[in-house]
Amino acid sequence: MDIDGVMVTTASWRPEALEQGEFYAFSPLAQQQLDWLLQYSEAHIILTSTYRNRFSNEGWRKIFSERCAHLQSIQVLDDFKLQNRQHSRLADVTEWVRRYGANTHYVIIDDDSALEALPPDIKTQWVRTMPKVGLDVEAAMEALTILRPVKPG
Secondary structure class of 122 (helix, strand, coil): helix
Q: How many CB atoms lie within 10 A of CB 80?
A: 13
* Residues 10/116, Cβ–Cβ less than 8 Å: no
**Exposed, middle or buried: residue 45 (CB in 10 Å: 0-12, 13-18, 19+)?**
buried
Query: How does the average pLDDT of the chain come out, rounded?
Result: 87
Please give the pLDDT value at position 78.
73
What percent of the chain lies above the pLDDT cut of 90? 61
pLDDT score of 81 more than 60:
no
The domain ranges of the chain are 18-147
The most confident of 14-18, 36-40, 149-153, by mean pLDDT: 36-40
Is pLDDT at 153 greater than 60 in this prediction? no
Instruction: Work out the end-to-end distance of the chain between its first and last CA atoms, rounded to an integer number of angstroms.
Output: 31
**Degrees (nearest 5) of the Cα angle 7, 87, 13?**
40
**DSSP code of 135?**
S
To the nearest whole percent, how much of the chain has pLDDT over 70?
Answer: 84
pLDDT at 20: 58
Average pLDDT of the residues in 45-74: 92
